[in-house]
Amino acid sequence: MEQTFYFIIIGALLGEYILSTVSAILNMNSITDEVPANFSDVYDTKKYADSQAYLRARTRFGILSSTFGLIVILVVIHAGIFGVLDQFVRGQTASPIFGGLLFFGIIFLINDVLNIPFSLYSTFVIEQKFDFNRTTPKTYMLDKLKGYLLTIIFGGLILGAVLYFFNSYSEDGWWIAWLVITVFMIAVQPLFVHVIAPMFNKFTPLEEGDLRTAIEAYAAKVKFPIARIDVMDGSRRSSHSNAYFSGLGKSKRIALFDTLLEKHSTEEIVSVVAHEVGHYKKKHTYLGTALGIVQMGVMLFLFNLIMGEPALFAVFGVEQVSVYAGMVFFGLLYAPVNLVTSLFTTALSRRNEYQADRYALDTTHNSEALVSMLKVLAASNLSHLTPHPLTVFLSYSHPPVGRRIEAVSAA
């Protein structure tokens, strides 16, 4: 049994690495010599060359970081470091709850420290080189500290609850923990709008003027009660442009990056808003939350079935069975299942994007603005215009921009 677990985990790690690496290389090599005809109005030769250079830089760096990550986890497994960590934790406390939190905390901290050089290089070298970075060292450090604070508060509460229920209620622990996590997944959405997001960005109500009037007129037309239309200071960290919809009920917010307002016309921004409203009207937000809840339930149920299997712990050099260590090991064992489910969720996400585009088109009746928005957004973000089909299939949550434009034009 131990060998079976070992081969599944190692096979999953190597298989996922090989698949993602092959996909990344194919995607990097799928660039074309000339600008696709329908983008010639927003990409000149230099901008297109820049987008290809950006793709190559991001891809090579991604392969390097994933290779490093693979080497680290293989060393940790074969050197029995998890066993050493487990013995250390047990020497500090006899409580399975506090011991588990300490176990997770140490893993999180070590992993974060190991990844800081990669994060710094990505932000201050690659993004800086292509004139996207606006993050200062001070902002970077403050973001880190705030991230640690949120991890301690929310991660500690959720993990502590899961550990408590699994340790205290035996076979019933999984569904009790599932209920608690479900409540959190629903409650965190208004919490994100009112507490978490403002910790990292400043949200200012969109000022009175033609744009706000146009957005409010559109919202009234489609009977969408927007609680807040905010401008987010995305330019504090990056010159990338975007917009998003968040929240449920009375906490609904449409956030427009300030960089978006700088680069797009009123009609184009209304089409962005219409796209986000489309996600709400088509119930994509609720569907995503429901799928997340179902996936969590399945994962906890499967974990409950094997969490006491000594052979799984033996693979990692851990002598005593525990819920906290089992959660980490199960996460690695679950990787093949997660890969399959991610293919479904990303395919569903791409379908949702097409539906939101179609909703925007049907309610604004302005295909020119929607197409122009997609083109300018792609150009300003140096998007890859001809991604490889395998990469799209494996990891694209949004359809390639060219496909979206084709779908809009066909409609």
Per-residue pLDDT at 311: 92
DSSP-assigned letter for residue 32: -
Stretches where the chain sits below pLDDT 50 are none
Q: Model-level pTM?
A: 0.90
Please report whether residue 406 resides in a domain: yes
CA distance 231 to 202: 8
Please report whether residue 258 resides in a domain: no
**Packing angle, helices 367-380 and 401-410, rounded to 10:** 170
For 134, the 3-state DSSP assignment is: coil
CA distance 299 to 326: 13
* Structural domain total, the chain: 1
Please report whether residue 101 resides in a domain: yes
Please report whether residue 178 resides in a domain: yes
CA distance 343 to 390: 11
Per-residue pLDDT at 249: 62
Per-residue pLDDT tens for 343-357? Answer: 999 999 999 999 999
Per-residue pLDDT at 167: 94
Please report whether residue 102 resides in a domain: yes
Please report whether residue 259 resides in a domain: no
Alpha-carbon torsion, ordered 222, 227, 230, 232, to 10 deg: -110
Please report whether residue 336 resides in a domain: yes
**Which tokens in the block code for residue 15?**
């298989």
Residues facing residue 205 across a β-bridge: 230
Please report whether residue 203 resides in a domain: no
First to last CA, the chain: 55
Range of the domain at 106: 2-188+306-410
